[in-house]
Structure 1
């Protein structure tokens, strides 16, 4: 995908990000939620994947002290298995590490093996279970962590 662009999300991307959430998640975020993330949340950092001037994926996190909590990773169903998820996660992690973050965490549905495999490519490891984490169906979440090799665990 030579025309794929990964860039920092902008306020003008909110409508497309929310529309993408509608097709990707059973509990999608609203445009207002994305607006708060991009305009008001100083801890938030999001990147989008743009193909032919259309948002086809995004990833975001909250930077809390030296840790990044990945909030969402989404790729339009028709563009999955084309490396877009890999690309947005890679750019998100690289930019965050350059900004001083040294460890990352996320929750992922137990049933979402594809996402778990994506995160494992980036050295995320399973660290525990959050019982009944997902409100839409009570599904458990796997807690995953990624720590830079030089990060202290104090």
Structure 2
């Protein structure tokens, strides 16, 4: 399988929304993604392609010298193939290229697969946001990585 990363474009939104809907509850709206791509000067979004098909996406906000990973999602049929790793590496590289000194993210307390991936890349658990996820009031783990 050929894997590549590129910037997300407006024409990617139909596919991104399919992945978003199957991954998150509640999902972000199409309008939210459109605003991120066209109006939010702090936001950078990328997609990962598997043999030319969009298989996932991720985003980061670049705020002064910190990066905040907003989301990472992989289509269910492509999970376990290293595409989440490729996206995370792409987001970290965006931060490195812009002289970001640290990256943060929130992850569901129960999402062991994601937490394990983040830890492999040097993210450390720093705190908890109680009842962060509105669908079930699950806590979020706050993680940070210095660059």
Q: TM-score normalized by structure 2?
A: 0.96
Output aligned runs, 1:68-87, within 5 Å.
68-87=67-86
Distance 1:54 1:29 in 2: 21
| SS class of match (1:82) | coil
Distance 1:78 1:11 in 2: 23
Output aligned runs, 1:1-154, within 5 Å.
1=1, 3-148=2-147
RMSD of aligned residue pairs (Cα, Å): 0.9
Q: For this pair of structures, how many residues does the alignment match?
A: 147
Specify every segment of 5 or more residues in structure 2 that has no aligned partner in the other structure, as ranges.
none
Distance 1:81 1:71 in 2: 21
Q: Please report how far the alpha carbon of residue 123 of structure 1 lies from its aligned counterpart in structure 2 after TM superposition.
A: 0.2
Q: Please report how far the alpha carbon of residue 95 of structure 1 lies from its aligned counterpart in structure 2 after TM superposition.
A: 2.0
| SS class of match (1:145) | strand
In structure 2, what is the equivalent of residue 152 of structure 1? none
Runs of 4+ residues deviating >6 angstroms:
none
Specify every segment of 5 or more residues in structure 1 that has no aligned partner in the other structure, as ranges.
149-154
Over residues 103-147 of structure 1, what are the superposed CA-to-partner deviations in whole Å (9 max), with x where a residue is unaligned? 000000000000001111110000001100011110000000001
